Structure 1
Amino acid sequence: MGRAILIIGAGALAVGVIIYALIECAQSERYSVRALPKWAWLLVILLLPVVGAVLWLLFGRPRREDVAAEAQRGRGPDDDPQFLRHLEQHRRQQEQARRLQEWENELKRTGRAPGTHPETDEPLDPSDPRNDAPKPHDDTPGPRNDTPGPDDAQK
């Protein structure tokens, strides 16, 4: 009885290895298979069931480096550090261009660079109603300083 279980277990293991080898060989890329062409490996696995499957696992399947390279190729763009660096650099360039455009617009609109403070009598905005008001002259009535200065004494 114990011997029958062992034979059934070994048979199930052999069938599992053969099915695994067939599926892996069929899904492998044509140019990544080693030693023999892909179609030849499929024939070896089918014609020499256990031996062919073991030979495939040892000598025919793609190397791990090849599989790792395939996995990297399958990554999304958000997993690629180089793509993310390029994306960040592009974002910075767009932000810099936007700031420059805002600066030029402000300079055209107000006649001065952004961040500079207007003089006290200068309106803050060209659309400010103070632009239409008449400018005061020196002849306007109001208190005057009639005290003689040092220049008046020489006259």
Structure 2
Amino acid sequence: MARLLIIGGFLAAVFWVFSIVDCALQPATRHRGVRKAAWIAIVILIPVIGGILWFVLGRRRADDQSTRLIAPDDDPEFLRSIDKTEQDARIAELEAELARLDDEGGEGPAKDARQ
């Protein structure tokens, strides 16, 4: 029985230290609920239960959608908000200018190659 208490105490101490280090090293954006300092205090003052609370409630995962940044070209909401009328007008203007340049028949290597 004494061996189990010693092993259990050792494992609890290792978990406690690991919880403190993990909480302290996480960036402030990965903490849920309260501030980082409050989580560190909770983990230190309530050794095993504080560590369990940290891993269950306080630690935000890296793949959590609320902190994940999405590039603008991957964000459907951003793509819907883009006003495409200006782009379409500019493309039409460039195509008209290109057609005008083709109609002028400028001398160049491309025209010589077609003959």
Q: Report the TM-score when normalising by structure 2.
A: 0.50
**Residue 46 of structure 1: how far off its partner (Å):** 1.9
Equivalence map 1:116-131=2 (5 Å): none
Structure with the higher fraction of residues in helix conformation: 2
Query: Partner of 1:56 in structure 2?
Result: 54
Percent identity for Structure 1 against Structure 2: 27
| Residues 21-40 of structure 1: per-residue CA shift (max 9 Å, x gap) | 64246424369531x43212
Query: Partner of 1:96 in structure 2?
Result: 92
SS of aligned partner of 2:67: helix
Structure 2: give runs of 5+ residues left out of the alignment: 108-115
Structure number with larger C-alpha Rg: 1
Structure 1: give runs of 5+ residues left out of the alignment: 110-124, 128-155
**CA 1:50–1:14: 2 relative to 1, 3 Å:** same
Q: Report 1 or 2 for greater relative contact order, CA contacts < 8 Å, sequence distance ≥ 6.
A: 2
SS of aligned partner of 1:98: helix
Matched, 1:69 2:66: yes
Residues in 2 aligned to 1:126 and 1:58: alpha-carbon distance in whole angstroms: 72
Contact 1:22 1:45 in 2 (8 A): no
**Paired residue total:** 103
Residues in 2 aligned to 1:6 and 1:53: alpha-carbon distance in whole angstroms: 19
Residues in 2 aligned to 1:27 and 1:4: alpha-carbon distance in whole angstroms: 34
Residues in 1 aligned to 2:8 and 2:91: alpha-carbon distance in whole angstroms: 66
Q: Report the TM-score when normalising by structure 1.
A: 0.41
